[in-house]
Structure 1
Amino acid sequence: MNRFSRISACKRLKITVNHIVGRRMATNNECSAGIIVIGDEILKGQTEDTNSHFICKHLFSLGVKVKKISVIGDDLDTIAREVSLFSKSFTHVITTGGIGPTHDDKTFEGIAKAFDDVLEPNPVLVELCKEYFGPASLDSPKMKLAMVPKSATTVYGYHPETGQKNKFPLVTIKNVYIFPGVPQLLERSFITLEHLFKNPSKDFYTREIYVDKDEVSIADILNTVDSKHNNTVILGSYPDFNNSYYKVKLVLESETKKDLDDACQTLTESLPKDCIVEYDKSPIHHAVDKVYGVVNSCERCEYTKNVREAVKILEECLDKYGLDDLCVGFNGGKDCTVLLHLFYSVAKKKFPVHKDKYKALYIKSKSVFPEVEKFIQISRDKLQFFVQSFSFLVQAQLSLLSLLNPKFQVSTTITTSNETNESHLESFSMTDADWPQFMRVNPLLNWSYKHIWQFLRSLNIPYCSLYDRGYTSLGSMNNTHPNPHLQYIDDRGILSYHPAHTLVNENSERHGRNT
Structure 2
Amino acid sequence: MTQNAVTAAILVIGDEILSGRTKDKNIGYVADYLTALGIDLCEVRIVPDVEVEIVEALNALRHRYTYVFTTGGIGPTHDDITADSVAKAFNVEIHEDPRAIEMLLVRFKQGDLNEARRRMARIPVGASLIENPVSNAPGFNIGNVFVMAGVPAIMQAMLDNVAPLLQNGVKVLSEIIEVPGIKEGDYGVGLAKIASAFPDVSIGSYPHLTETGFSNQIVVRSRDGRLLKEAVKAVHDLLKELQAQGF
- TM-score normalised over the length of structure 1: 0.43
1:17-75 CA distances to partner (integer Å, 9 max, x unpaired)? xxxxxxxx341x22221210000001101111121122122212322222221100111
Distance 1:42 1:149, change over 3 A: same
Structure-1 residue corresponding to 2:203: 235
Distance 1:63 1:123, change over 3 A: same
**Residue 256 of structure 1, CA deviation:** 1.2
Q: 1:216 aligns with which of 185, 191, 215?
A: 185
Contact 1:221–1:271 (Cα < 8 Å) also in 2:
no
Distance 1:248 1:191, change over 3 A: farther
SS at match of 2:23: coil
**Residue 217 of structure 1, CA deviation:** 2.1
Contact 2:134–2:157 (Cα < 8 Å) also in 1:
no
SS at match of 2:171: coil
SS at match of 2:174: strand
Contact 1:72–1:79 (Cα < 8 Å) also in 2:
yes
CA distance in 2 between counterparts of 1:209 and 1:215 reads 13
1:459-496 CA distances to partner (integer Å, 9 max, x unpaired)? xxxxxxxxxxxxxxxxxxxxxxxxxxxxxxxxxxxxxx
Contact 1:59–1:197 (Cα < 8 Å) also in 2:
no
Matched-pair identity in %: 29
Q: Which has the higher strand share?
A: 2
1:206 to 2:184 alignment: no
Contact 2:206–2:216 (Cα < 8 Å) also in 1:
yes
CA distance in 2 between counterparts of 1:262 and 1:83 reads 39
1:44 to 2:19 alignment: yes
Structure-1 residue corresponding to 2:237: 269
Structure number with the bigger relative contact order (C-alpha 8 A, sep ≥ 6) is: 2
Aligned residue identity for 2:50: D
Aligned residue identity for 1:81: E
Q: 1:130 aligns with which of 90, 101, 105?
A: 105
1:252 to 2:227 alignment: no
1:376-427 CA distances to partner (integer Å, 9 max, x unpaired)? xxxxxxxxxxxxxxxxxxxxxxxxxxxxxxxxxxxxxxxxxxxxxxxxxxxx
1:24-423 mapped onto 2 (5 Å cutoff): 25-27=1-3, 29-136=4-111, 140-156=115-131, 168=136, 169-200=138-169, 202-212=170-180, 213-228=182-197, 230-240=198-208, 242-244=209-211, 247-272=215-240
CA distance in 2 between counterparts of 1:138 and 1:182 reads 21
Q: Please list every run of at least 4 consecutive aligned residues from structure 1 whose deviation after the TM superposition is greater than 6 angstroms.
A: none
Distance 1:95 1:54, change over 3 A: same
Aligned residue identity for 1:248: N
Structure-2 residue corresponding to 1:460: none
1:166-218 CA distances to partner (integer Å, 9 max, x unpaired)? 88454111111011101122123223432333424x23111112222321122
Distance 1:237 1:198, change over 3 A: farther
CA distance in 2 between counterparts of 1:30 and 1:217 reads 34
Contact 1:136–1:142 (Cα < 8 Å) also in 2:
no
SS at match of 2:78: coil
SS at match of 1:247: strand
CA distance in 2 between counterparts of 1:191 and 1:249 reads 32
**Residue 88 of structure 1, CA deviation:** 1.6
SS at match of 2:10: strand
CA distance in 2 between counterparts of 1:117 and 1:136 reads 30
Contact 1:91–1:175 (Cα < 8 Å) also in 2:
yes
CA-atom RMSD in angstroms:
2.5
Structure-2 residue corresponding to 1:403: none
Distance 1:187 1:138, change over 3 A: closer
CA distance in 2 between counterparts of 1:175 and 1:191 reads 17
**Residue 238 of structure 1, CA deviation:** 1.7
Aligned residue identity for 2:211: S
**Residue 144 of structure 1, CA deviation:** 1.2
Unaligned runs of 5+ in 1: 1-24, 158-164, 276-515
Structure-2 residue corresponding to 1:337: none
Corresponding residue pairs, total:
240
Distance 1:273 1:210, change over 3 A: farther
**Residue 140 of structure 1, CA deviation:** 0.8
Structure whose alpha-carbon radius of gyration is higher? 1
1:222-278 CA distances to partner (integer Å, 9 max, x unpaired)? 1232233x23311111222x3436622211111211111121122123214998xxx
CA distance in 1 between counterparts of 2:67 and 2:34 reads 10
CA distance in 2 between counterparts of 1:155 and 1:189 reads 6
CA distance in 2 between counterparts of 1:138 and 1:166 reads 17
Unaligned runs of 5+ in 2: none
SS at match of 1:271: helix
SS at match of 1:133: coil
Contact 1:63–1:198 (Cα < 8 Å) also in 2:
no
Distance 1:273 1:49, change over 3 A: farther
